[in-house]
Amino acid sequence: MSVASDKDENERFKTQLRERWVISDLGEAKFCLGIAIERERSTRSIFLSQHALIDQVVEKFGLKDAHPVSIPMDPSLKLSRNVEPPANTDELRRIQAIPYRALVGSLMYLAMGTRPDIAFAVQQLSQYLDCYGLTHWDAAKRVVRYLKGTRGLRLQLGGSSVADLVGYTDSNYANCVDTRRSVSGYSFTLGSGLVSWSARKQKTVSTSSCESEYVAACEATKEAVWLRALLLALDHGQLRATLLRCDNNGALILSGDPSFHARVKHIDVKFHYIRERVAANEIEVKYVNTKDNLADAFTKALPAKSFEAMRELMGVRA
């Protein structure tokens, strides 16, 4: 355990702890809550992985002999709550026996822990826990097949890059075929590798792509403000406004130009929080090309080449 700037202070702190409690010093953390921790001191990097859980999921759900795939979700697939009823009693029993909820729950822990590359796929699958069918089950198994083929990948943090907080935001307008709500996505890096990410369906229907992007940027701004406060508490306060990259010019203009307000009065007041943070010099919104927008992978299923490029930018690598 290391909590101080040098070894002597670290030992003094542990001595103080022993005076009040019975403690065990197990050395450097190597495994925590199912997450393996590896260090590479030559590059000042930490690698996080969940190889053991992936192996357990593959074994538990009978996919040891399944063929791996290169991407977790087919870009052409559109899942829906409108599921065709079972054709007969045997098919009904088969669907009822599917451990869909258990599998999605396992995938969710992986997506939240060390595998941001499956976050969008899991977000899509988790919407149908009460109305799944064989199509949903096949989509869930595809994610496991992807993980099986990429079990050696790890989330890399640290490195030689300057540890500045940088965010990306994106949305997929009217993505949900049932409700026509959009999907918001954001991701934040701290030098290298993702430290925070999200793929989530918006709570209201947006009436334009600009509104959808603006709502997504507002959610990203809230996360940025929280991360800035956390870093300040860790004595790593950010010296400049956090850069938030967005690929929609309308949302970018709206975030910093109050004169644009008359044309967007229909947008809920709460989403204008981003303007307040921009004015306070905590957030700086800048344009990024869609092909370089890291949040793109959290709002839609991408083809293999684009997906692999985004995965590398996430810091998910061997």
Comparing 170-184, 187-201, 251-265, 289-303, the range with the smallest average pLDDT is 251-265
196 C-beta neighbours (distance < 10 Å), count: 18
pLDDT band at 104 (very low <50, low <70, confident <90, very high): very high
Kindly state whether residue 231 falls inside one of the protein's structural domains. yes
Kindly state whether residue 129 falls inside one of the protein's structural domains. yes
What are the C-alpha distances in Å from 2 to residues 8, 16, 273?
Answer: 11, 14, 38
pLDDT band at 266 (very low <50, low <70, confident <90, very high): low
Run of H or E including 276: helix 273-279
pLDDT band at 268 (very low <50, low <70, confident <90, very high): low
Going by C-alpha positions, the residue among 284, 264, 266, 265 that lies closest to residue 274 is 284
Is residue 262 scored above 60 in pLDDT? no
Distant-in-sequence, close-in-space partners of 151: CB < 8 Å, separation ≥ 6 = 51, 54, 55
Which pLDDT value is given to residue 261?
58
Range 187-191 average pLDDT: 94
Is residue 2 scored above 70 in pLDDT? no
Distant-in-sequence, close-in-space partners of 119: CB < 8 Å, separation ≥ 6 = 111, 197, 198, 199, 297, 298
Is residue 220 scored above 90 in pLDDT? yes
- State the virtual CA torsion across 150, 155, 161, 165 in degrees, nearest 10: 130
Kindly state whether residue 133 falls inside one of the protein's structural domains. yes
Kindly state whether residue 2 falls inside one of the protein's structural domains. no
pLDDT band at 91 (very low <50, low <70, confident <90, very high): confident
Range 239-257 average pLDDT: 90
Domain span holding position 202: 161-305
Taken in order 302, 308, 311, 313, the sign of the CA dihedral is negative
The verdict on 74 and 133 lying in the same domain is yes
The verdict on 172 and 277 lying in the same domain is yes
Number of structural domains found in the chain: 3
pTM confidence score? 0.90
Per-residue model confidence as pLDDT tens digits over 38-81:
999 888 899 999 999 999 999 999 999 999 999 999 999 999 99
Query: Quick one: what percent of the chain has pLDDT higher than 70?
Result: 95
Kindly state whether residue 233 falls inside one of the protein's structural domains. yes
- By residue count, the chain amounts to 318
The verdict on 171 and 123 lying in the same domain is no
Is residue 247 scored above 90 in pLDDT? yes
CB neighbour burial string for 201-228, b if at least 16 within 10 angstroms, e if fewer:
bbeeebeebbbbbbbbbbbbbebbbebb
The verdict on 231 and 144 lying in the same domain is no
Residue 196 belongs to a domain with what CATH number? Answer: 3.30.420.10
Tokens 């996430």 identify what position? 314
The verdict on 119 and 195 lying in the same domain is no
The verdict on 145 and 17 lying in the same domain is no
Distance in angstroms (rounded) separating the CA atoms of residues 205 and 198: 19
Beta-ladder partners of 285: 244
The verdict on 173 and 224 lying in the same domain is yes
The verdict on 172 and 265 lying in the same domain is yes
The verdict on 185 and 130 lying in the same domain is no
What are the C-alpha distances in Å from 52 to residues 46, 106, 148, 152, 240?
Answer: 18, 12, 11, 11, 40
